[in-house]
């Protein structure tokens, strides 16, 4: 079968390196480390059911959620890959209580970047063979180079991100990322172990006809969200919209970005501050959405303008086609007047 576009991810990163204002090769090596780790995790994901890698560990992570074996494996792989390349001064993972100061190598503190990562989003779906993913976010440190990394290096608003992306492990494995110059997707050729450019310059349709939300929590949702769901279900014009909810953020977001739609994970009675993590999930997905022409909000405020105060801070999250996000904000505003 002929490859649609023969350009590899490695070639693309090098070609676009000059667009990055701090270009020194570090960011390229950092993205290459993520690329390598994703291949290792992909191999294990594809073995699920054949080897003892699925199921729970019997431990809970810092979020109070039961850790899956693949959560732990993916976390270790990405941390090791980033450590070994000596291109970051700090790493924060959804699976770890505190950030990790990278001390390996002679010039560890000289590195300019910190990485925040959700190593395996949607891992509870592994046992039933549903798509899962990895989400990553990259910032330039705010403390002085040559000094130990500090918490404030990680607690930056999303509008300070220099790169973000995700890996989706599914019928095909893809890396989708941005450095602030649009969004591009690369599909892994499993025979060669190489990512090829398959989705150049991705744009989210301004309108969509898909809404993605766990309607099982409907009775607990804010009034504005309830009214928006009813709006989606009304027979008028292009509505009713289609309800599609996988339960893996990466999979739901990826579908909606390509086809047009909106993803909603609002606050509700059991999670008054929302459930998704601002730094590991909301910010990187919001950056990608905006770079692709979409929008992301907590219902009232642009996600990328929120100022984090905690490493594992949660936030309501509404993201996707711009016109759909605007409509949700209208419902939220009117419900609170």
Question: What is the per-residue pLDDT for 88?
Answer: 92
Q: Was 263 annotated as part of a binding site?
A: yes
| Mean pLDDT score across all residues of the chain | 89
- Total number of domains in the chain: 2
The answer to whether residue 1 sits within a structural domain is: no
Write the Ramachandran bin of 46: left for phi over 0, alpha for psi from -120 to 50, otherwise beta: alpha
Domain match, 67 and 177 both: yes
The answer to whether residue 3 sits within a structural domain is: no
Question: What is the per-residue pLDDT for 210?
Answer: 98
Residue 262 CA to residue 265 CA, distance in Å, equals 10
Question: What is the per-residue pLDDT for 61?
Answer: 55
Q: Was 111 annotated as part of a binding site?
A: no
Q: Was 245 annotated as part of a binding site?
A: yes
Question: What is the per-residue pLDDT for 181?
Answer: 93
Q: What is the CATH number of the domain that holds 23?
A: 3.30.540.10
Q: Was 124 annotated as part of a binding site?
A: yes
The answer to whether residue 4 sits within a structural domain is: no
Domain match, 33 and 54 both: yes
Per residue, what are the HEC states of 25-68? CHHHHHHHHHHHHHHHHHHHHCCECCECCCCEEEEECCCCCEEE
Q: Was 123 annotated as part of a binding site?
A: yes
Domain match, 136 and 171 both: yes
Q: Was 94 annotated as part of a binding site?
A: yes
Q: Which of 216, 267, 218, 214 shows the shortest CA–CA distance to 245?
A: 214
Q: Tell which of 159, 174, 199 closes a domain.
A: 199
Question: What is the per-residue pLDDT for 64?
Answer: 56
The answer to whether residue 159 sits within a structural domain is: yes
Specify the long-range contacts of residues 184-192, CB closer than 8 Å, at least 24 apart. Answer: 184/12, 186/8, 186/9, 186/12, 188/39, 188/42, 189/3
Q: Tell which of 180, 199, 218 closes a domain.
A: 199
Q: Give the chain's radius of gyration (CA, Å).
A: 19
Question: What is the per-residue pLDDT for 45?
Answer: 82
User: For residue 294, how far is the Cα from the chain centroid?
Assistant: 15
Q: Was 275 annotated as part of a binding site?
A: yes
State the number of CA atoms in the 13 A half-sphere of 309 facing the CB. 1
Question: What is the per-residue pLDDT for 3?
Answer: 57
User: What residues have CB less than 8 Å from 325, skipping those under 6 apart?
Assistant: 262, 294, 295, 296, 297, 318, 319
- Residue ranges of the chain whose pLDDT lies below 70: 1-5, 20-24, 48-67, 104-109, 337
Residue 245, phi then psi, degrees to nearest 5: -140, 115
Q: Was 118 annotated as part of a binding site?
A: yes
Domain match, 247 and 138 both: no
Residue 68 CA to residue 275 CA, distance in Å, equals 18
The answer to whether residue 14 sits within a structural domain is: yes
Quickly list DSSP for 98-117.
S-EE---STTGGG--EEEEE
The answer to whether residue 153 sits within a structural domain is: yes
Domain membership of residue 150 as a residue range: 9-199
């Amino acid at each position: 079968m002929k490859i649609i576009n023969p350009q590899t991810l490695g070639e693309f990163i090098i070609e676009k390196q000059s667009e990055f204002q701090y270009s020194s090769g570090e960011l390229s090596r950092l993205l290459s480390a993520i690329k390598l780790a994703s291949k290792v995790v992909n191999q294990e994901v594809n073995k699920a059911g054949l080897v003892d890698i699925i199921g729970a560990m019997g431990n809970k992570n810092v979020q109070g959620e039961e850790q899956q074996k693949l959560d732990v494996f993916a976390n270790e792989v990405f941390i090791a890959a980033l450590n070994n390349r000596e291109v970051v001064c700090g790493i924060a993972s959804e699976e770890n209580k505190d950030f990790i100061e990278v001390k390996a190598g002679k010039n560890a503190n000289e590195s300019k970047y910190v990485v925040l990562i959700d190593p395996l989003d949607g891992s509870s779906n592994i046992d039933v063979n549903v798509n899962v993913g990895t989400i990553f976010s990259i910032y330039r440190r705010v403390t002085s180079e040559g000094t130990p990394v500090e918490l404030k290096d990680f607690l930056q608003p999303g509008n300070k991100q220099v790169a973000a992306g995700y890996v989706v492990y599914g019928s095909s494995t893809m890396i989708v990322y941005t450095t602030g110059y649009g969004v591009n997707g690369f599909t892994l050729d499993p025979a060669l172990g190489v990512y090829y450019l398959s989705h150049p310059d991705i744009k989210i349709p301004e309108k969509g006809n898909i809404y993605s939300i766990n309607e099982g929590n409907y009775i607990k949702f804010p009034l504005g969200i309830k009214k928006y769901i009813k709006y989606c279900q009304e027979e008028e014009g292009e509505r009713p919209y289609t309800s599609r909810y996988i339960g893996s953020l990466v999979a739901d977001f990826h579908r909606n970005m390509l086809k047009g739609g909106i993803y909603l994970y609002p606050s509700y009675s059991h999670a008054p501050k929302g459930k998704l993590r601002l730094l590991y999930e909301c910010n990187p997905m919001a950056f990608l959405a905006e770079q692709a022409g979409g929008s992301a909000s907590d219902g009232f405020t642009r996600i990328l303008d929120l100022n984090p105060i905690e490493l594992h801070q949660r936030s309501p999250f509404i993201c996707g086609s711009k016109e759909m996000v605007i409509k949700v904000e209208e419902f939220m505003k009117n419900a609170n007047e």
